[in-house]
Amino acid sequence: MKDILLINNKAKSTGIGTYSYSLYDNLTKVTRRNVDFVTLSLAFENDGGSLVKAFPQSIKKLLDHLGFLRKISHSYKVYHLLNPNLGIMLPRLHPSVVTVHDISPLKRSVSEDIIAKSYGLELPLLLSMQLNMRFIKNADRVLCMSNYTKNDLTSVLGIEEKRITVSYPGIDRQLFNPRDKSRARLSLNLPINKRILLHVGTDEPRKNVATLIEAFYLVKKKIPDAVLVKVGGMREATRKLILARHLGDSVIHFNKVPSVAPFYNAADLFVFPSYYEGFGYPAAEAMASGCPVVAGDSSSVTEVVGRGGILFPPFNVTTLYETIIQMLTDSNKHTAMINEGFEQVKKFDWKKCAETTLAVYETL
């Protein structure tokens, strides 16, 4: 019988993909057990030479999880689904572990926001995600990235606490670490002498980018040379708000980039106003990079940022504006938050994550 199989469906460039590949890499370092990995991603670069099988995925069609299931060997001792959106496989894979990053599709406030702001166009995708997540109950063990998500799993899905283990993911400290700010700005062709605010992430409604734009509008009146750098997708509604506030010349947008790491080094402040996250990688990456963090005091973000940043009510524009001004003008506070961030991010270690995951496998 084969040993452990990790099952993934996200590209390495995504948050879930980062978790999947990093966990796989570190599991192979902390155990002599045989760990295999299958992925539906279009491409995977395997530098280590371990067993990795990539199954093709149609770009234009929704993933057929059940079809994928038929290609998977049913002779493993442990099956670990790395994304709850693969949940439909769980009834036929045992013993099983599933990693739940968040349950946003099942949270009413989040799902209603998605439907309203997409004019219903994302409803089919949302329903598909909700269906998959209902199968989480079929897993023998559940891993999640925060105590907040653990509470969601018990309160929303009714999963017993004894089946859930919180395992913080790690941060790649070779990639995310302090570097010279001027050099980073030169490499990205960003202004050398201006104050730079940074946001990294998608522009889903739960990311609450509109609150950041409104606060930045106020910041510009106090600090005219301030610039907002947005890395990640941008919805048309956000573009319209930027134009309505006459901020077009002060917002620099990067859609897709080879690496987000130098952006944290180039920024004076990272702003993360999300009102719902299962973890919040960008906030942890910023702290590891020596970029002070201002983040929404909500969901798992409160837990992940902790004392390593300044938290604010995520929809309070005035408080966010005042906090940004403080962080850009008070050098002592700025330095203190950098140091607090370095301490906080020590909690997020891939080796520890792999060891915790391995311990869960041992219970099956």
Task: Give tens-digit pLDDT for 66-82.
Answer: 566 677 888 999 999 99
| Cβ neighbours around 51 below 10 Å, total | 13
What pLDDT shows up at residue 134? 85
For the segment 156-199, what is each residue's pLDDT rounded down to a tens digit? 899 999 999 999 999 999 999 999 999 999 999 999 999 999 99
Contact yes or no for 77/95 (Cβ under 8 A): yes
Give the pair of three-digit tokens for residue 235. 């919805």
What pLDDT shows up at residue 64? 54
Return the residue matching tokens 């099983």.
96
For the segment 326-346, what is each residue's pLDDT rounded down to a tens digit? 999 999 999 999 999 999 999
* Between 112 and 86, residue with greater pLDDT: 86
What residue type is 288 in one-letter code? A
| Cβ neighbours around 66 below 10 Å, total | 10
Mean pLDDT of 207-236: 97
Alpha-carbon distance of 203 to 248, in angstroms, equals 17
What residue type is 41 in one-letter code? S
What pLDDT shows up at residue 159? 94
Of residues 288, 305, 354, the one with CA closest to residue 19: 354
What pLDDT shows up at residue 1? 74
What is the overall mean pLDDT for the chain?
Answer: 88
What phi, psi does 311 have (nearest 5°)? -105, 145
Stated length of the chain:
364
| Cβ neighbours around 172 below 10 Å, total | 13
| Cβ neighbours around 302 below 10 Å, total | 16
Residue 331, Cα to own-chain centre: how many angstroms?
29
Residue 166, Cα to own-chain centre: how many angstroms?
16
How do beta strands 196-200 and 35-39 pair?
Answer: unpaired
CA 51-54-57 angle, to 5 degrees, is: 170
What pLDDT shows up at residue 72? 83
Mean pLDDT of 321-325: 98
Percentage of residues in the chain having pLDDT higher than 70: 86
* Radius of gyration of the chain, Cα coordinates, nearest whole angstrom: 21
For the segment 28-58, what is each residue's pLDDT rounded down to a tens digit? 999 999 999 998 754 443 443 344 444 443 3
| Cβ neighbours around 47 below 10 Å, total | 6
pLDDT above 50 (res 119): no
How do beta strands 196-200 and 269-272 pair?
Answer: parallel
Residue ranges and CATH numbers for the domains of the chain are 2-169+349-362 (3.40.50.2000), 181-347 (3.40.50.2000)
| Alpha helices in the chain, H assignment, sequence order | 15-30, 65-69, 108-117, 123-134, 147-156, 181-188, 209-222, 236-244, 261-266, 281-288, 299-305, 317-329, 331-344, 350-362
How do beta strands 269-272 and 310-312 pair?
Answer: unpaired
* Between 2 and 115, residue with greater pLDDT: 2
What pLDDT shows up at residue 132? 75
For the segment 274-295, what is each residue's pLDDT rounded down to a tens digit? 999 989 999 999 999 999 999 9
